[in-house]
Amino acid sequence: MKDVAARIIDGKAVSQKLRTELADEVAAFKQQTGVIPHLAVVLVGDDPASAVYVRSKSKGCEQAGMAGSQMTLPADTSQAQLLELVARLNADPQVHGILVQLPLPRQIDETVILDAIDPLKDVDGFHASNVGLLAQGRPRFVPCTPLGCQKLLLDAGIPTSGAHAVVIGRSEIVGKPMASLLVQKGAGGDATVTICHSRTKDLAAVVRTADIVVAAIGRPKFVTADMIKPGATVIDVGINRIETGLVGDVDYGPVSEIAGAITPVPGGVGPMTIAMLLANTLLAAKLQTQARR
């Protein structure tokens, strides 16, 4: 055990600072172009957590001086009906960003929907062409949660160049794009990256070698103190609702006594996801406005 507890990386404070800066950028963009950036958020079904996230996305747009509209479809919506809505939003010149809230009901193939979104309006960065651009090291829209993790590392002054970063989880939304960001050249990158997943042999031993651990596996308190190298930085992407409340993928109390810096849940990575979405929406409006002039 260390005699000093880990530094807490406060995602709520960092996201608030970024959102204030973004509101100034939005105001300048509106003054220059007369264009109001507009995010359309689509929710299918009535999952209560998704409904909360979607509301905070629309509210976040308004607070930043952008337009946010929300479309809610019933849980039994067919793939064809959702594709029709996406096509309408793609064709609408007033809409700059389109986000389809995940997860989608089982009858709808997520990949088909995500790849139907105009890549220039894909503020989630999930379209195959945006995934490809990130993998090639020339990112356009980067998925919001990994981008938020990278911003937290940069804001906290955690060196990534030459560091060994271990990403636990290989999802398309977090694990894979996080690894791409950490390995790419430049600030917040240049790390040596290992991705661990359910088939990794002796995962604990691999994680113990990490200077930076990003936990995105979706299992409550999966990362325990014995897996952490003293002084390592621990970024917890997990949001798990258990009987006692909301917990991350990291066993926060014991791990914070070993780590050098750690994100809490709530108040760590989560708020950054929305801040990055707002930033991507302004970027979408800028790219489309440029293309139309």
- Give the residues lining the site for ligand LMY7XDAE (CB under 6 A): 49, 53, 99-102, 124, 144-145, 239, 246, 265-267, 270-271, 273-274
Determine which one of 101, 150, 184, 288 is catalytic: 101
Query: What residue ranges in 119-211 does DSSP mark as E strands?
Result: 164-168, 192-196
Q: Which residue has the tokens 């690894």?
A: 179
Residues with Cβ within 8 Å of residue 132, at least 6 apart in sequence = none
Instruction: Write down the least CB distance from residue 41 to ligand LMY7XDAE, Å.
Output: 8
Decide if 57 is catalytic.
Answer: yes
Q: Which is nearer to ligand LMY7XDAE, 7 or 229 (CB)?
A: 7
Residue 145 or 160: the one with the smaller Cβ distance to ligand LMY7XDAE is 145
Neighbouring CB atoms inside 10 A of 142's CB total: 24
The answer to whether residue 288 is catalytic is no
Catalytic residue at 124? Answer: yes
Query: In the complex, what is the shortest distance from the CB of residue 150 to ligand LMY7XDAE, in angstroms, rounded to a whole number?
Result: 14
Q: Find residue 68's DSSP bridge partners.
A: 39
Q: How far is the CB of 245 from ligand LMY7XDAE (least distance, A)?
A: 9
- Active-site option among 124, 211, 236, 251: 124
Question: Looking at beta carbons, which residue is closest to ligand LMY7XDAE?
Answer: 270
Q: Among 78, 73, 67, 82, which Cα is nearest to 117's?
A: 82
- For residue 223, give the DSSP letter: B
| 239 marked as binding residue | yes
Of 73 and 102, nearer to ligand LMY7XDAE (C-beta) is 102
Q: Minimal distance in Å, beta carbon 121 to ligand LMY7XDAE?
A: 13
| β-pair partners for 60 | none
Q: Is 169 annotated to bind ligand?
A: yes
Element (DSSP H or E) covering residue 206: helix 203-207
44 vs 196 by CB, closer to ligand LMY7XDAE: 44
Angle, helices 11-33/48-63, rounded to nearest 10 degrees = 50
State the catalytic residue, choosing from 57, 121, 151, 176: 57
**What minimum distance in Å lies between the beta carbon of 240 and ligand LMY7XDAE?**
10
Query: Which residues 6+ apart lie within 8 Å of 271 measured at CB?
Result: 11, 12, 14, 15, 16
Q: How far is CA 233 from the centre of its chain?
A: 18
**Residues linked to residue 71 through DSSP beta bridges, in sequence order:** 42
Q: Report the binding-site residues for NADP(+).
A: 169-171, 239
Residues involved in catalysis: 57, 101, 124
Which segments are annotated as binding site?
169-171, 239
